[in-house]
Amino acid sequence: MPHVSNRVTLIDHPMVQHKLAIMRSVHTGTKQFRELVRELALFEGYEATRDFPLEDIDVETPICETVCKRIAGRKVAIIPILRAGLGMVDGMLELIPSARVGHLGMYRDEVTHEPHPYYAKFPADIDQRICLIVDPMLATGGSAVDAIQSLRAEGVRDIRLLVLVAAPEGIEAVLASDPDVRIFTCAIDEGLNEAAYIVPGLGDAGDRIFGTK
C-alpha cells in the first residue's frame, strides 16, 4: 500500500480503483453510487485500522485448544461529516460493529467555500476513542479542518480522516492544520476548479448519494 507520506495513505488496490471509476461516471445512478460509497468505506476502514494492536486469546477449536489474536480493547468512534459522510457509515459499521457514531453537520458556502457547522453530537466518552472522520470528498480541506479542530477541542488524541477522493490542496490544508492527523484516501486528483469542486472528481457527493439534484 503506497504511503504518499507517513501521514497520507493512498489506497490504490485494483478493486478500489475499479469501483471508483464507476463512481466517477456521470452515468452512474444514485442506487449504485450509494452502494459503492458503502463498499469503499469498508475497504478504507480495513486499511485505516491496520495498526490496531492485538492481544492473545485462548480459543477451543473442534480439534484442540489454541491461542489466537483479538483487537486489544480499542474503542472507536465514526464521525461522519453530514451529509455525504453518512454514506460511509454503514460500511464502517460492518467492519467495526461496536463503534459509536458522532455526527458533525456542515455545509460549504457556495461562494466563499467556507464550511458552516450546523450540528454536533458526539459520544460522551469521545476523548477515550480513536475517531475516524468519514467524508467522501476532501476539496479545499475547510470542512475537514473544522471537523478535526472540533474533535481536538473535545480532547480526542487519535484522529484519522477517511475520504474517497482528495485534492492536493485539501491534503495540504489538513496536514498544515494539525500535527498528528492521518489521512486515508482512494485517489489524489489533479486539483480544484473555480467553484472549488475536485477535478476530475465525481461531482457533488451528497447530491449523488441522496439523489437531491
Ligand X SMILES: O=P(O)(O)OC[C@H]1O[C@H](OP(=O)(O)OP(=O)(O)O)[C@H](O)[C@@H]1O
Numbered residues of the known binding site for uracil = 198, 203-205
Query: What's the CA gap between 147 and 157, in Å, rounded?
Result: 14
Given the C-alpha cell 475516524, which residue does it identify? 132
Q: Residue 126: which of ligand URA, Mg ion, ligand X, none does it interact with, CB under 5 to 8 A by kind?
A: none
Decide whether 55 or 194 has the Cβ nearer to ligand URA: 194
Decide whether 90 or 204 has the Cβ nearer to ligand X: 204
| Helix (H) or strand (E) segment spanning residue 55 | strand 54-60
From the list 2-10, 91-99, 177-185, 195-203, the region that binds ligand URA by CB under 6 A is: 195-203
Angle 67-53-60 from CA coordinates, rounded to 5°: 15
From the list 58-66, 97-105, 155-163, 203-211, the region that binds ligand URA by CB under 6 A is: 203-211
Candidate residues 91, 102, 123, 141; the one interacting with ligand X per rule CB under 6 A: 141
Residue 212 catalytic? no
Any residues with CB less than 8 A from the CB of 66 and at least 6 apart, and which?
58, 59, 60
170 grid coordinates: 485539501
> At its nearest, how many Å lie between ligand X and the CB of residue 114?
8
154 lies in the binding site for Mg ion (CB under 5 A):
no
Give residue 188's identity as a one-letter amino acid code.
Answer: I
Count of alpha carbons within 13 angstroms of residue 141, beta-carbon side: 19
Q: Using CB under 6 A, which residues numbered 149 to 178 contact ligand X?
A: 170
40 lies in the binding site for ligand URA (CB under 6 A):
no
Q: Using CB under 5 A, which residues numbered 167 to 206 contact Mg ion?
A: 204, 206
- Kindly name the residue from 9, 49, 108, 178 that is annotated as catalytic: 108
Radius of gyration of the chain (CA): 18
Q: Residue 170: which of Mg ion, ligand X, ligand URA, none does it interact with, CB under 5 to 8 A by kind?
A: ligand X
Candidate residues 11, 36, 137, 156; the one interacting with ligand X per rule CB under 6 A: 137
Buried b (16+ CB within 10 A) or exposed e, 172-208: ebbbebbeebbbbbbbbbeebeeebbbeebbbebbeb
- Residues classed as catalytic: 108, 112, 204, 207
- Where along the sequence are the contacts to ligand URA (CB under 6 A)? 84, 137, 139, 197-198, 201, 204-206
